[in-house]
Amino acid sequence: MTDETVVVGEFSHETNTFAARPTDRAAFADRREYVGAALLDALRGTNTTVGGVVDAAEDRDLDLVASVAAAATPGGIVTADAYDFYVEEILSTVRSNAADLDGVVLSLHGAMVPEDGTDGEGPLLSAVREAVGPDVPVVATLDLHANVTDEMVAAADALVAFETYPHVDTAETGRRATELLVDLLRDDRELSMRIERPPMLPYGPLQNTRSGPMAEVMATARRFEGRDGVAKVNVFPGFHKADVPAMGCSVVSVADDASAAEWAARDLAAELWEMREAFVGEFPDPHDAVGRALRSEAVADPEAGPVVLADSGDNPGGGGTGDETAILRELVDRGATNAGMALLADPEAVAACLDAGVGERVTVSLGGRADGSFTPPIGDVDGYVAAITDGEFRNTGPMATGTENHLGRTVLFRCGREDGVSVVLTEKRIQPLDAEIWRHVGVAPERLDVIAVKSNNHYRASYEPFASEIITVNSPGVAAFDPHQYDYRRIDRPVFPLDEMAADDYPDWY
Ligand SMILES: [Zn+2]
């Protein structure tokens, strides 16, 4: 078997165009930035798309040339400086290997918005296509939350998305993409893609692929695959916190010929559209949700696991500031005991706690300070500095297993009395989707009665095994799941459930 030369790279960001703070190079360095061959060693064996590509390439004797792997926590528009830098890293690797290049596989998100445009990945893929010419296959992985553009579909040979939310199949997705690339290289397979866009916005918590309507849609997608030359049916419920023309739901099919791609995309889009009402729901506000948690039988039962409150409106994984205080305020005001909050990104509070020192009492103001916060600080909280860490730990749960987290200087702050609400105070923003964040500050999360987590759905992978109950909270913040909250100017209308939909607004395939 010949060793084909394949360039691998990652440039991933989910951009919340409503978030106040732009995403610059420092934000990528904070989360993940590996350049050149270092990325192979750093990500091999981790549950990341690049990790899956590396493992599959070694199994299939591909000669990988590493470009760059860069990912930042979701946030505001990507600065021109950061966008140009990482695009140029990838293009320069492609160009300098052009003479004997056989393929390209890129790990992208699909909802990146650069400062100077509305689509990060389409122009990147077009530039790669231009550099390699029409005959070298280009395959890209996308997050399930991509807002897919026609340009992405036109420029790539195949797009391969996560099938799960929580995204526990990231390495598997990298592997699938690499296997498709091998088919294109060694079996002279040619692929057609087709995109259809049901005009609907499935609410974030209802995009959970583990149960409910999304689980049904995904099961249908899996049934279509393998039938009639259909290689892949990608379902994208969309990332709604982006005011760009392609924002919304789409289905992208990949098949051996155009007619197979067409029926697969249309049939699945029709199923989604048929189910549109099931993707809209009501969820309690922080006051009602915290009341329900504290009244739960699980709280009175020392054997029961915690009630988990999902602070979805302030999910840093959707661009949230990570310092919204609505749920924490409810917990503190009601005198919750043996409760926890992961996390609160508040460098000023961290500094005050570090000045006081571990084991000391201190009075601090908590949260509500970041640019664009929806909620005010909780002032004058008297509490105890229970632990101080460097904020470094690796995920041990099912998502992004083995990858590093960098929280900056981190404090476990206990509000009020000894058994008051424990807050993981951090300098940096991440989505605390892995319960290891608790263990790294010396807390066994299983033994808390109530845990609030700044996450929309990803926390389920790590927390569901020990939670007694889960409550999704419609909490305030720039990551809130209800699309009615956002003042869109550039998206396609009409769209369900924002607009009244008349029969002649329905898609032509319906
Ligand atoms: Zn996602």
* Centroid of ligand 1 to alpha carbon of 143 (angstroms): 5
* Centroid of ligand 1 to alpha carbon of 214 (angstroms): 14
Asked whether 87 and 118 are in contact (CB, 8 A), the reply is: no
* Centroid of ligand 1 to alpha carbon of 35 (angstroms): 24
Asked whether 399 and 167 are in contact (CB, 8 A), the reply is: yes
* Centroid of ligand 1 to alpha carbon of 45 (angstroms): 21
Rounded CA-CA distance 124/490 in Å is 21
Asked whether 261 and 193 are in contact (CB, 8 A), the reply is: yes
* Centroid of ligand 1 to alpha carbon of 174 (angstroms): 15
pLDDT (average), residues 477-502: 96
User: Is 72 buried (19+), middle (13-18) or exposed (0-12) by CB count in 10 A?
Assistant: buried
Asked whether 147 and 214 are in contact (CB, 8 A), the reply is: no
Note the pLDDT of residue 1.
52
* Centroid of ligand 1 to alpha carbon of 107 (angstroms): 13
5 DSSP β-pair partners: 63
pLDDT level of residue 37 (50, 70, 90 thresholds): very high
* Centroid of ligand 1 to alpha carbon of 443 (angstroms): 28
Note the pLDDT of residue 417.
79
pLDDT level of residue 302 (50, 70, 90 thresholds): confident
Q: Which residue has the higher pLDDT, 1 or 145?
A: 145
Domain covering 192-281, topology: TATA-Binding Protein (3.30.310)
Rounded CA-CA distance 293/328 in Å is 13
* Centroid of ligand 1 to alpha carbon of 24 (angstroms): 20
pLDDT level of residue 509 (50, 70, 90 thresholds): confident
* Centroid of ligand 1 to alpha carbon of 112 (angstroms): 12
Rounded CA-CA distance 324/381 in Å is 15
- Please name which of 350, 431, 360, 359 lies closest in space to residue 397, comparing C-alpha atoms: 431
Asked whether 149 and 122 are in contact (CB, 8 A), the reply is: yes
With a pLDDT cut of 90, the percent of the chain lying above it is 96
Rounded CA-CA distance 330/218 in Å is 37
1-189 has which CATH code?
Answer: 3.40.50.2300
* Centroid of ligand 1 to alpha carbon of 166 (angstroms): 8
Note the pLDDT of residue 434.
98
- Please name which of 236, 159, 175 lies closest in space to residue 46, comparing C-alpha atoms: 175
pLDDT (average), residues 207-220: 98
* Centroid of ligand 1 to alpha carbon of 301 (angstroms): 35
* Centroid of ligand 1 to alpha carbon of 167 (angstroms): 7
3-state secondary structure of 148: coil
pLDDT (average), residues 481-503: 95
* Centroid of ligand 1 to alpha carbon of 249 (angstroms): 13
* Centroid of ligand 1 to alpha carbon of 240 (angstroms): 11
* Centroid of ligand 1 to alpha carbon of 144 (angstroms): 5
* Centroid of ligand 1 to alpha carbon of 411 (angstroms): 28
With a pLDDT cut of 70, the percent of the chain lying above it is 100
* Centroid of ligand 1 to alpha carbon of 318 (angstroms): 8
- Domain residues of the chain, as ranges? 1-189, 192-281, 286-479
* Centroid of ligand 1 to alpha carbon of 10 (angstroms): 15
* Centroid of ligand 1 to alpha carbon of 109 (angstroms): 8
Instruction: Quote the pTM value.
Output: 0.96
Distance separating the N- and C-terminal Cα atoms of the chain: 47
pLDDT level of residue 437 (50, 70, 90 thresholds): very high
* Centroid of ligand 1 to alpha carbon of 355 (angstroms): 37
* Centroid of ligand 1 to alpha carbon of 100 (angstroms): 34
pLDDT level of residue 456 (50, 70, 90 thresholds): very high
* Centroid of ligand 1 to alpha carbon of 384 (angstroms): 36
